[in-house]
Amino acid sequence: MGGEARGTCEAGGPATRPVRSWYTNGGIMNRLHSEIASTGPVAVVRLDGPFELLGAGAVWHLLVKLLADQPDALVVDLSAVTFDDPQVLLLFGALARRAGIWPGIPVILVAPDPGQRTALHRQAVDRQLAVCAEGGEAMVLAGSAPLPLRVREALLPEPGAARHARDITTEACVKWGLPQLVTGASIIASELVTNAVQHAGTPLVLMLARTSRYLHVAVRDNDPRPAVLRHPSLLATAGRGLLIVQRTALSWGSSPAQDGKVVWATLVADDRSGHLG
């Protein structure tokens, strides 16, 4: 998998960055290495070492952070991974489902060892994502994946940001043939931007993506604190933004990013009934 550059990993830029995840198992410190590489628009992660249930949380956190960059595909190379409990492989099936809901991209595994592929099959992981025997095959498959239609708009944390987000979202929905989602998507974009302006106060990016099944609305800011759903009292005059998002979207979430977080929501793109989830 060539075409890599060494250095600090930044969103959208080709880079390779070693990351080490540590965890304790029975008093013995084990080490799982991960190397992140961006090969063009495809994010590639190579895992190296023992992958155990106690370390699954660190791997999940790492991979979810990469989804925040909205690559065209995420390739996870298991060539140098060992595992004793095959149940740990279920993480990749969950990751594929998560990536399908947001940001709507495929996850592809590289598993050269026939034993790995057998374990993935027995855990039914290969029913949820593609498993390739070679890295080159995975890159070809990643490059042939359907690309979402995307819009990105940088915004400043100022009062007019929410209105601008509504306008951009309305324009995208109309352009992408989704007039039935204009109201719901515009409300979500407005509430996510307002939430970022009020609580993060950093420059932000509105990200819209349309896949065959979903419309994704997301806002990225530089504040690592996750968005928290609140349930204000009936007399409260504020604090209902994420509650509105939850009630409007099919699903929503707050995901860590390399330099902050992404708060995202998903609507069903092919639902012509006007139901918004």
Q: Of 143, 160, 180, which closes a domain? A: 143
DSSP state of 160: T
Same domain for 163 and 264, yes or no, is yes
| Mean of per-residue pLDDT scores for the chain | 85
Model pTM score? 0.80
pLDDT in tens, 129-182: 999 999 999 999 999 988 889 999 999 999 899 999 999 999 999 999 999 999
Same domain for 27 and 106, yes or no, is yes
pLDDT score at 107: 97
Hey, what are 245's tokens? 């998002």
Residue of higher predicted confidence among 168 and 84: 168
Domain limits at 172?
A: 149-268
Work out how many domains the chain is built from and give that number. 2
Res. 264: pLDDT tops 90: yes
Residue 185 to residue 146: CA distance in whole angstroms: 22
